[in-house]
Amino acid sequence: MHRDIRWPNVIKSRDGDNSWFLIDFMDAAQSPQLSPSGHHLSRAEHAPEIFSDGSHTTAVDVWSVGRLIQTCGDVVYGSWYDTGREWTQFLELLMHDDPSRRPTAVAALDRLRQLEQE
């Protein structure tokens, strides 16, 4: 798992092919993993369990993808805009406080593809 998915760690290809890449794997680890000290991580940009005394799984990355989607309006347009109830529910699910209630990455991708076609 990456454990630090946020806009500063996402770059766009210069080739014009609309490809995006995740960079900075300094915090990457196998899942499950004990929570890091978190001293260099922002609570606003990372799943709550990263800062707990327990362990965490790839669900932290699912939460972070939800945060990317939630804030992409801020990055691209300067403010978040309402995309409708289904998108809001999807983001709430991705960013659920209980990691066991979040979808897997595969299930999240499938739902994202469905939402894009609606």
Residues 6+ apart with CB under 8 A from 19: 12, 13
Structure tokens at 31: 């899942």
Catalytic residue among 4, 53, 74, 98: 4
> For residue 75, which of 67, 83, 86, 85 has the smallest C-alpha distance?
67
> For residue 66, which of 36, 90, 33 has the smallest C-alpha distance?
90
Would residue 4 show up in a list of annotated catalytic residues for this protein? yes
Positions marked catalytic: 4
